[in-house]
A and B are shown apart, each in its own frame.
Chain A
Amino acid sequence: MEQVSIMIVGVGGQGTLLASRLLGAALLSSGCGYDVKVSEVHGMSQRGGSVVTYVKFGERVASPIIDLGEADVILAFEQLEAARWLPYLKPEGKVIVNTQRIDPMPVITGAAEYPQGIVEHLRAAGVAVQAIDALALAMESGSAKAVNVVLLGALAKQLLRSSELADATGVSPGIPRGTWEEAVRSTVKPQFAEMNLKAFALGWAA
């Protein structure tokens, strides 16, 4: 089936839901006419647990979820989560990973260790990796909370330049930058619009 599958993974509270909603809104307003499905998990895992959101689009999308070996892009808000969800990537897929580290409770309590060299491990698995210090860029834009929009900017750029992706799937995932900016503007509160647009631009340029 010709479709593009994007996973957004992170830690509950990082704003992955907003990112997936923005992506869904941008896809719809781009006028591409694609079928779009977005799947979220609410509830218990939002309390600092590992969270994942699936966004899929194409001529016809049946399942709203992404399974092992199916994602074209994994957008990881945190390093460890990139490693956790890596098996969901297509072997020829790409990981965009925020180098931020958030210790899970087993690491905090000393029951487990936070793995070293995660980005190198991702590369060693043979997939394309783009590592971004999104927290630093978010701070630059004015708020640590804008990490999600920074990463969305990086994803938007990736989708636009993915000609390989278009060849592989038959679906052109590119959405003009202006459409994204409109989606950001219409989704966040007006007083945070400028800050978020700056965050988006920094992610786009990363």
Chain B
Amino acid sequence: MQELFLGNEAVARGLWEAGCRFVSSYPGTPSTEITEYAAQYAEIDAEWAPNEKVAFEAAHGACIAGARAFCGQKHVGLNVAADPLFTASYTGVNAGLVVAVADDPGMHSSQNEQDSRHYARATKIMMLEPADSRECLEYTKLAFELSEQFDTPVLLRLSTRISHSRSLAEPGAREERALKEYHKNPRKYVMMPAMAKERHALVEQRILAQREWAETCGLNRAEYFDQTIGVICSGINYQYAREALGEGASYLKLGCVYPLPERLLKEFCARCDVVYVAEDLDDYIEQHCKALGLAVRGKDVFPLLGEFSQNLIKKAILGEEPPHPVAALQPPPRPPVLCPGCPHRGLFYALKRLDVYVSGDIGCYTLGSLPPLGMLDTCVCMGASVSGLHGRNKANPENARKSVAVLGDSTFIHSGITGLINIAYNRSNSVVIILDNSITGMTGHQQNPTTGKTLKGDPAAAVSLEALCAAVGIGHVAVVDPYDMKAAEEAIKAALAAGEPSVVISRRPCALLKHVKHNPPLRVNEACTGCKSCMRIGCPAVSMKAGEGRAKAAIDPTQCVGCGLCAQMCRFGSIE
């Protein structure tokens, strides 16, 4: 019986049905729910790793030990896992190993728009790309078969609209699989030059075999309707093209995007008058077609930026745009904001008062760069706040007195700790602020090694951030509650003045956590003069309401959680 499955949920179902026993991932939108759903199956040992490299290596280790294994991440997460990924292509697998990577065209929740298909080609690892939840489930299962058949990890490429759309899929039963026996085999698993040279030759042979497979596997299929227009596409772009052109065009739908089926591409191009490659992000398939001498059209009509849609494809190919209503007003934008009661807000306001350079990082606190706080100077990738600050302070040691790094607890464990070791070891008087909100926030509340709980909710060892910082050689470690903005400011000031590598831990659980008890909503009394001081912290629950005379502050009781920051801003005692 068919059910509605989120794409990520269908991948998790596929893992379970394929007899997968071990899952290790680091959360990242839009990939996170795969691992969360996988954790709901008792037969799967699913866990959050400190970062994607650890996750991949754990999954690889499990597959060598004979368990079907999986790791999933967003596109930029695969950069972190890229080091072992390249060499795992050489070692191959024992039991199957499937690696999901979720791209984010249009950057709904990402810092870049990279196209992960390049990884398949670069690592010589085959890549499947499902186009709906049914295929998410089927391809995941198939990926394990292929992994074992060809002795290779298999990449499963997803994108935001596949991962986060619900469509119908038919769940099946689990195929229980015993652990495959491990045989010691240094020529296969010990990658030093002599062995790796042999393995590289095997990788090249493997690709040839996979190329043959790709021609006849059924995942790459031509759908012939009107042959004046042909569209080569994969994943979500197949759905956009089908919706845009219906039976007014023919389609070569690619379920395997590496290696590509060259004979099928040639045959399709020969049978259609004009062939378009509809692919968002890079011209990956287009370039391949052109290398084969096929006269396809692609980025001459389609953009390199952003995500596609049915209208975009219709306009590019047919030049048609549907009519739509227009309102005679320009709605102001509604950017995401730090939530009411967010512990990061008080800390950012303290930084604003100190007027410091802020080396930023990836998480909810990246929102601290937006007005009215506007406090980030940089944001690049996980952990870059810490290492980047060190470089800044090495470039000019004077910077150290007016510069800090900010990153969350999970990001610190992910890759901030290595930067901090670098600060202690190579001695820059850098001040690192760990925004410890007791959870991985932006991706929707995942446990991490500092929270004392595993993905499955079991109690776990909790990293002591204070002890960890001290252990790597940080002499000045302070802990502060960011709801007390004065104290936070003083603690940062003291760290900046300490003249040594320092850490300030700003500790207060995320206001959205279920176990966090909120205070009653605050109110504005008669003493309000309308000075707007309370507006400077950028809380969405506080606004100015026009009345008689000057507009006065007002607090939305449905949003306010009583954190008291606005009251600390008020000099007239008008918020209580």
Q: Which of B88-96, B175-183, B319-327, B394-402 contacts A (4 or more CB under 8 A)?
A: B319-327
- CB pair A105–B337 under 8 Å, yes or no, is yes
Q: Is A1 an interface residue (CB 8 A)?
A: yes
Complex: A64 Cα to B307 Cα, angstroms: 13
Complex: A63 Cα to B311 Cα, angstroms: 11
Q: Which of A31-39, A151-159, A163-171, A193-201 contacts B (4 or more CB under 8 A)?
A: A31-39
Q: Is A133 an interface residue (CB 8 A)?
A: no
Least Cβ–Cβ distance between B34 and chain A, in angstroms: 12
- CB pair A109–B309 under 8 Å, yes or no, is no
List of B residues within 8 angstroms of A112 by Cβ: 332-333
List of B residues within 8 angstroms of A40 by Cβ: 6, 164-166
Chain A, Cβ-Cβ closest to B539: A108
Q: Is B184 an interface residue (CB 8 A)?
A: no
Question: Quick one: which of B29, B132, B372, B558 has the most chain A CB within 10 A?
Answer: B558
List of B residues within 8 angstroms of A49 by Cβ: 334-337
List of B residues within 8 angstroms of A103 by Cβ: 540, 543
- CB pair A36–B4 under 8 Å, yes or no, is yes
Least Cβ–Cβ distance between B108 and chain A, in angstroms: 6
Q: Is B443 an interface residue (CB 8 A)?
A: yes
Chain B 327-354: CB-based contact to A (< 8 A → 1; otherwise 0): 1111111111111000000000000000
Interface set, chain A 93-135, CB cutoff 8 A to B: 93, 102-115, 118, 121-122, 124-127
Contact of B309 among A61, A65, A111, A122 (CB under 8 A): A65
Chain B 521-550: CB-based contact to A (< 8 A → 1; otherwise 0): 000000000000001001010111000000
- CB pair A108–B242 under 8 Å, yes or no, is no
Interface set, chain B 238-257, CB cutoff 8 A to A: 239-240, 242-244, 246
Known interface pairs A47-B367, A63-B239. Does A37 touch B165 (Cβ–Cβ under 8 Å)?
A: yes
Known interface pairs A36-B167, A69-B322. Does A47 touch B328 (Cβ–Cβ under 8 Å)?
A: no
List of B residues within 8 angstroms of A91 by Cβ: 323-325
- CB pair A62–B165 under 8 Å, yes or no, is no
Interface size on B, residues (CB 8 A): 62
Least Cβ–Cβ distance between A87 and chain B, in angstroms: 5
Interface set, chain A 25-47, CB cutoff 8 A to B: 25, 28, 35-47
- CB pair B371–A36 under 8 Å, yes or no, is no
Question: Quick one: which of A41, A65, A118, A121 has the most chain B CB within 10 A?
Answer: A65
Known interface pairs A43-B109, A45-B108, A106-B333. Does A70 touch B4 (Cβ–Cβ under 8 Å)?
A: no
Q: Is A81 an interface residue (CB 8 A)?
A: yes
- CB pair A64–B161 under 8 Å, yes or no, is yes
Complex: A172 Cα to B444 Cα, angstroms: 36
List of A residues within 8 angstroms of B364 by Cβ: 47
- CB pair A43–B329 under 8 Å, yes or no, is no
Q: Is B259 an interface residue (CB 8 A)?
A: no
Complex: A12 Cα to B340 Cα, angstroms: 12
- CB pair B323–A69 under 8 Å, yes or no, is yes
Question: Quick one: which of B6, B132, B331 has the most chain A CB within 10 A?
Answer: B331
Q: Is A161 an interface residue (CB 8 A)?
A: no
- CB pair A69–B324 under 8 Å, yes or no, is yes
Contact of B322 among A68, A81, A84 (CB under 8 A): A68
Complex: A44 Cα to B32 Cα, angstroms: 13
Least Cβ–Cβ distance between A15 and chain B, in angstroms: 12
Complex: A109 Cα to B367 Cα, angstroms: 15
Q: Is A89 an interface residue (CB 8 A)?
A: yes
Interface set, chain B 174-224, CB cutoff 8 A to A: none
Contact of A41 among B32, B108, B132 (CB under 8 A): B108
Q: Is A77 an interface residue (CB 8 A)?
A: no
Interface set, chain A 73-90, CB cutoff 8 A to B: 80-81, 83-84, 86-90
Least Cβ–Cβ distance between B366 and chain A, in angstroms: 8
Contact of A144 among B336, B542, B558 (CB under 8 A): B558
Complex: A148 Cα to B309 Cα, angstroms: 28
- CB pair A11–B338 under 8 Å, yes or no, is no
Chain A, Cβ-Cβ closest to B309: A67
Least Cβ–Cβ distance between B530 and chain A, in angstroms: 12
Contact of B108 among A36, A43, A47, A89 (CB under 8 A): A43
- CB pair B164–A63 under 8 Å, yes or no, is no
Complex: A65 Cα to B326 Cα, angstroms: 20
Q: Is B478 an interface residue (CB 8 A)?
A: no
Contact of A38 among B4, B327, B338 (CB under 8 A): B4
Q: Is A142 an interface residue (CB 8 A)?
A: no
Q: Is B378 an interface residue (CB 8 A)?
A: no
Q: Is A176 an interface residue (CB 8 A)?
A: no
List of A residues within 8 angstroms of B331 by Cβ: 80, 83-84, 115
Chain B, Cβ-Cβ closest to A143: B558
Contact of A111 among B324, B371, B542 (CB under 8 A): B371
- CB pair B242–A62 under 8 Å, yes or no, is yes
List of A residues within 8 angstroms of B544 by Cβ: 110
Complex: A45 Cα to B332 Cα, angstroms: 15
- CB pair A38–B165 under 8 Å, yes or no, is yes
Contact of B334 among A64, A80, A115 (CB under 8 A): A80
Known interface pairs A40-B165, A47-B364, A103-B543. Does A124 touch B328 (Cβ–Cβ under 8 Å)?
A: yes
Q: Is B469 an interface residue (CB 8 A)?
A: no
Q: List 9 A-B contacts (CB under 8 A).
A: A11-B334, A37-B166, A47-B338, A63-B236, A68-B311, A93-B325, A105-B334, A106-B332, A121-B327
Which 6 A-B pairs rank lowest in CB-CB distance, beginning with the nearest?
A43-B109, A69-B324, A49-B336, A112-B332, A43-B29, A104-B334
Which A residues fall within an 8 A CB radius of B? 1, 11-13, 21, 24-25, 28, 35-50, 61-65, 67-70, 80-81, 83-84, 86-91, 93, 102-115, 118, 121-122, 124-127, 144
Which B residues fall within an 8 A CB radius of A? 3-4, 6, 29-30, 32-33, 108-109, 132, 160-161, 164-168, 236, 239-240, 242-244, 246, 309-312, 321-339, 364, 367, 370-372, 442-444, 535, 538, 540, 542-544, 558
Kindly list 15 other residue pairs between chains A and B, CB separation below 8 angstroms, not including A38-B4, A47-B338. A42-B30, A43-B442, A46-B444, A69-B322, A83-B331, A86-B326, A88-B324, A105-B334, A108-B540, A109-B371, A110-B535, A115-B329, A115-B330, A115-B332, A118-B329
